[in-house]
Amino acid sequence: MISTDVAIWIQAALILMWLSQLYKQNIFYRFTEYTFIGVAVGHSTVLVYKNVVSMVYTPIVFKADFLLIIPVILGLLIWTRLSPKYGWVSRWPMAVIVGVSAAIAVRGAIKTQIYDQIIATIQLGVVRPDILSNVNNFLIVVTAICTLTYFVYFKEHKGALGTAAKIGRITMMATFGNTIAWAFAGRLNPLIALLQTLLLDWLHLR
């Protein structure tokens, strides 16, 4: 029996309209697109409002955390962007945002993205009883170095460097093939879930 739940009907209708883009662009698809964007913007706004209440209003009013007035003033300064004359004032708060987020990304990078990767590669330098894993470890070390050589900018990719860079490119392509396969898996699963909503929850085919 087909579902009698209004909510499921709304969902199913939206999904079908959404999937119609596969055939061609049409008004139903555009309706879902605009609905999606409208709700998304509204949702973000609500969340931001809740954040402001819990992180600014409550601490200042009930806990007298007056240090928080500084970011509030800086935040208000962002709005100067609306004035053509004083728009430059907004650069000050933007500098804070840019500075903090860049600093946090950079300071962690040395360890996780450089040292840890080097250490992990180094630790493959162990002779094991089975030949295959020795070969694999050797390949990993060599191809990792070759991949790095691909990113050398100031030396022409010729001779030994050229060969290494070529091996690096090939290694990267194998890596990408691997990730594409996984990415497809990551898209297929939501599709299965969607079809399950349609076929099982809505049409009750099973």
Partner 1 sequence: MSSYTLRNQIPLAIASLILVIVFAEYFLAMPKAVSDFISGLQKWTVILSAFAMVLSLLSVTRIHVPRVMKTGANMSDRALSAWLLVIMVITILVGIGFDTPSAQYQFIFRNLFSPLSSGVWAIMAFYYCGAILRSFRARSLEATVLVVAGFLVVTRNTPVISAIIPWWESLGTWIMNVPGVSGMRGLVIGVGVGVVAMGIRMLLQMERRPITGEA
Partner 2 sequence: MTEKSEKQDLTTRLERLDARYVYLFFAALLIIPIVVPFGLPILVTSPTRDFYDYVEKNVGKGDRVLIWGTMTTGWWPTEYRPSIVAVSQHLFNRGAKLYYISDGAEDPLLVDTVFGMIDKGPAKYGVDYVSLGYYAGGEVALSAFAKDVYSLVKTDYYGTPVDQLPMMKEVKTAKDFKFVMHVTGSPAEWLLRQYKTPYGIDCGWVGSSGMVGIYMPYYASRQVVGFVCGLRGGAEYETLMKRPGIGLASTDAMSAGHLYFALIMIFANIVYYIGRKERKKQ
Partner 3 sequence: MLQSGRILQFVYLIVAFAAVVVLFELQKKRGFLPKMRRLAALDAIEEVVGRATEMGRPIHVSPGTPSLGESIEVETIAGLAVTGYVAKLCARYGVRCIATAFLPEMLPIVQEVVRQAYIAEAKPDAYKEEDVRYLTDQLDAYATAVQGIVERENCVGNIVVGRLYGVSFMIFARAAIGGKTMNIGGTAYYLNVPHLVATCDYVLIGEELFAAEAYLTQNPRQLMSLFSQDIFKFVSMGLVVLGTLLFLAGSGAMVTLLKM
What is the contact surface with partner 2 in residues (CB under 8 A)?
22-23, 43-44, 47-48, 51, 54, 58-59, 100-101, 104-105, 108, 111-113, 116-117, 119-120, 123, 175, 178-179, 182-186, 188-197, 199-200, 205-206
Q: Considering only residues 3 through 62, tell me which ones interact with partner 3, judged by CB under 8 A.
A: 21, 25, 30, 33, 36-37, 40-41, 43-44, 48
Selection from partner 3, partner 2, partner 1, none that 156 binds (CB < 5 to 8 A by kind) is: partner 3
Half-sphere exposure of 165 (CA within 13 A, CB side): 13
- Beta carbon nearer to partner 2, 65 or 83: 65
CB of 114 to partner 3, least distance (A): 6
With CA atoms as reference, report the closest residue to 10 among 171, 200, 198. Answer: 198
What is the rounded CA–CA span in Å between residue 113 and residue 123?
Answer: 16
CA count, 13 A, side-chain hemisphere, 114? 6
**Measured on CA atoms in the order 30, 33, 39, 45, is the torsion positive or negative?**
negative
Distance from CA of residue 153 to its chain's centroid?
27
- Output 79 or 184, the one with its CB closest to partner 2: 184
With tokens 């091996």, the residue in question is 167
Alpha-carbon distance of 12 to 5, in angstroms, equals 11
Contact footprint for partner 3 (CB under 8 A): 21, 25, 30, 33, 36-37, 40-41, 43-44, 48, 78, 81, 90-91, 94, 97-98, 100-102, 105-106, 110-111, 114-115, 118-119, 121-127, 141, 144-145, 148-149, 151-157, 172, 175-177, 179-180, 183, 186-187
